[in-house]
Amino acid sequence: MKLILTIAARYLFGKKSTNAINIITWISIIGMSIGTAALILILSVFNGFESLLTDMLSNFNPDIKVTLAEGKFMHRDSVDSGRILAVNGVEAVAFTVEETSFFDYKGSQEVGIIKGVDREYIRVTGLDTSLITGSARFGQETEYGILGSGMNTKLSINPDDGFTPVTAYMPSEEDKGPLAKPFRSLQIYPSGTFSVGSEVDMQYVLANYEAVNYLLGMEDSFSGIEIKLSGDVSERQVMKDLTTLLGPRFKVSNRYQQDEGFLRIMNIEKWISYLIACLTLLIIAFNLVGSLWMIVLEKKLDIAILRSMGLTKQSVRGIFMALGLLISVIGLGVGFLLGLILYYLQKKYGLISIPDGFMIDAYPIEIRWPDFIIVTLTVMVIGYLAALLPSHRAGQIGAWVRQE
């Protein structure tokens, strides 16, 4: 094995009779390096976006959310909030109620989701840290509410106009005769705007819990229970205890499960982009095939001498397989170094910026060490496949040059 690696290294770094072989070989190494750097940076950028959006959503989604397994609403008296608070690890509990509603502001009309929140909601979620304008007030003397930044834009809210409310409409199920209005309405005065960087911004209007119950024609009913956990508890154990306590009528979800569809789509996009980059690297690997093939043709006499000295076909193939993998390893190492340099520059100076209007100035980026294992396996497999055909050709060269 040591002999095979020594010969492979000699063929790689030794002087070639044709300078073009050297050029093609180093082009292969550079191509593998750029491809490796691209793979690690693609994963890192998606990691950065995933972490950014997860952190932002954590200000809207609670640690644990309890929803109804069947139906949409339930009266609050049917659940003992004291028993939920008594579960080990539960720090705070908030009851919420939400439903699709129609909104109107000075002629601008949109369909979205109105969510009623109680006094504990801000403590449970920390949404006040995601406010970009105003403050979080709900039903303090006046029916105040806060809007997602996207909904705020769609309704064209004037932040300087404190006298015009956003009116939320909901169909009325009560039959009070032919002159009765077919809908209920609630006037909400915007006190602030929040942004968590997702579809939530485009859909949600948050208002007082009791006021939204009135709008829905209900009294003290909820559609979800949002729970904040202590920092030193097992999330899995708390979810198990809550499931046992509440029974089959309720579904208990952690933060990931609340946005499972969104995060799954992001994960799919991440790996599709990775596969596209892998295909590009596979095309680059054709340079590696060409350089190895030319080395085989140049070293025919050397191979014949080695065969006459007793080297087997498998060993000759091993030399060129090792040569292909050696080129891949060098490209991998240089690519990792290049990727880390670009990562540092992006993290420190924000080389690639994001257009105005976003919450961040530059593309977020985050390196995760398992990605290095994935990229290493990818590059080595591509290097192995590229070396298969040239190594097979080298193994066919006999011990007599005249036979060739």
Residue-wise pLDDT for 155-181, tens only, equals 999 888 878 999 999 987 665 555 557
Q: Give the type of residue at 278.
A: C
| Separation between Cα atoms, residue 114 and residue 192, nearest integer Å | 15
pLDDT value of position 162: 79
The reported pLDDT for the residue numbered 176 is 58
Question: What pLDDT, on a 0 to 100 scale, did the predictor assign at position 378?
Answer: 93
Interatomic CA distance for residues 346 and 218, integer angstroms: 52
Paired sense of beta strands 183-194 and 144-148, if any: parallel
Question: Residue 230 carries which DSSP code?
Answer: P
Q: Are 314 and 327 in contact (CB under 8 A)?
A: no
Lookup: tokens for 33:
């390096």
Query: What is the pLDDT at residue 221?
Result: 93
Cα gap 221→72, rounded to integer Å: 10
Sign of CA dihedral 389, 390, 391, 392: positive
Stretches where the chain sits below pLDDT 50 are 403-404
Q: What is the pLDDT of residue 403?
A: 46
| pLDDT on residue 10 | 72
Q: Model-level pTM?
A: 0.71
C-beta contacts of 151-157 below 8 A and 24+ residues apart: 151/103, 151/110, 151/112, 151/201, 151/202, 151/203, 151/204, 151/205, 152/190, 152/193, 154/108, 154/110, 154/202, 155/103, 155/105, 155/108, 155/110, 156/105, 156/106, 156/108, 157/105, 157/190, 157/193
**What pLDDT does 140 receive?**
60
Domain ranges of the chain: 2-57+262-403, 64-255
Supply the pLDDT for residue 359.
62
Longest dimension (CA), the chain: 107
